[in-house]
Amino acid sequence: TLLKIEILVRGVEFTQNALEKAKNDNAKIQNLVYNMPENSNIYRPQELLIKGKDGYSTVVSCITSHCEESAVIVDVNYKNELFASIDNKNIDDVIIEFVKEPNYYSRTISNGEILKKYISACGYDELNILPWKGCAISKVCKFCGVNTFCDKNDNEIFNAHTLSKNIYIWESKKEEYFNNLNEAIEIAIDDECYQEHMHLIIISGNLSEECLDFQSKIYAEIAENIKSKVTNKLSEGIVAVMTPPKDVNMLIKMRDSGIQIVVFNLEVGNEPWFSKYCPGKSELGLDFFENKLKQAVDIFGKGNVWTNFVLGLEPVDKLIEVCRELAKFGIVPGANVLHFDKGNQLDCSRPKKEDVLYFFTELSKIYRENNIKPYYCSKALRTSLSNEAFDGRIINE
């Protein structure tokens, strides 16, 4: 866990020998689904699996280094094993491996398309369903690079901008999409990475503000279509990550479709930082998100409504207070440690190690005080430490 923290606040760099090993080990490389680390390329390994000698495992995103602190260096020893060093001091009490590319990444469905057009693996054991690329919200969040790899003029259904302009594309294409998606899922769910846990998430950038109810309709139809194939495999049911619909009846429709958990990410919990870093969401308003989170608890139940923050965009103490208040309503708060992706528009620094330790220690206390648990598991949340803290792996000295 401490090595994961160091990577999240310092970044990680690989020697040439480590990069050769990544290639030989079939390491998962950047999949360009949400983002790609700043100052990197698509061949950079996406994640590392870190195992303690007591058997505890966690996964960390291979975020890039920055000028504020020296990076964690990953190299290869004489046994052809990975090892990490910080400031020329080797970290000897962990086993490090690349998260391997799932077998299904090389597979195609019957029409010749690759499975990765429909689904993707995030962390070790998440299966992400990706209805479209890009985000069509009027003003993108300043930490996000999701549109960096999206052609806004793409005429396919798999594009947030195209779909927002012509919602009828969905009706004309959805039967074909469902057939392809189900075929992709049937191939993927037996992969080794999903044998212990399988966290299935429908996730995408947003459609335009005018299409938020339509987005929830699409998510509900996807869940309805796939639930018979996946329900028995899932650790927490089908999870939907999105900006909430404006019509509360759409929340009911989502629940009835088979979605068991909804995630409405605030990203930032306080003004003026919310408006500064999430200008599109701020036009909807903090109150909009907070009210929708509370409405969703009435429909999905306590512990089944989540919201995530980006740790580093606002004062830590103020964020902790927001998390504490949300948890009282049965909303599960969490956070990712701020990292810099291609396409970001940020003017701030990454959080300090002591702030990361402090935040997640306090968040774990909030979980226990309100009888709620963190999202997913330590091998899924690659830029968060909520599971590690909850599992007692952090000592805040």
Amino acid 341: pLDDT: 83
Amino acid 343: pLDDT: 76
Amino acid 212: pLDDT: 97
Amino acid 133: pLDDT: 87
Residue-wise pLDDT for 340-376, tens only, equals: 888 788 888 899 999 999 999 999 999 999 999 999 9
Q: Could you give the CA distance from residue 223 to residue 221 in angstroms, rounded to a whole number?
A: 5
* Token output for 109: 């469905």
Q: Which residues of the chain have pLDDT under 70?
A: 32-35, 150-157, 396-397
Are the beta carbons of 119 and 374 closer than 8 angstroms? Answer: no
Q: Could you give the CA distance from residue 394 to residue 396 in angstroms, rounded to a whole number?
A: 6
Amino acid 155: pLDDT: 57
DSSP notation for 158-224: SBHHHHHH-THHHHHHHHHHHHHHHHHHHHHTTSGGGSS--EEEEE-----GGGHHHHHHHHHHHHH
Q: Could you give the CA distance from residue 29 to residue 106 in angstroms, rounded to a whole number?
A: 13
Phi, psi of 132 (to 5 degrees): -160, 165
Phi, psi of 375 (to 5 degrees): -70, 150
Amino acid 68: pLDDT: 74
Q: Could you give the CA distance from residue 95 to residue 97 in angstroms, rounded to a whole number?
A: 7
Residue 190: strand pairing partners: none
Among residues 116, 57, 85, the alpha carbon closest in space to that of 388 is found at 57
Residue 12, amino acid: V
CA angle 182, 185, 188 (to 5 degrees): 155
Amino acid 280: pLDDT: 94
- Sequence-distant (≥ 6) Cβ neighbours of residue 284 within 8 angstroms: 209, 243
**90-111 as b/e: b if 16+ CB within 10 A:** ebeebebbbbbbbebbeeebee
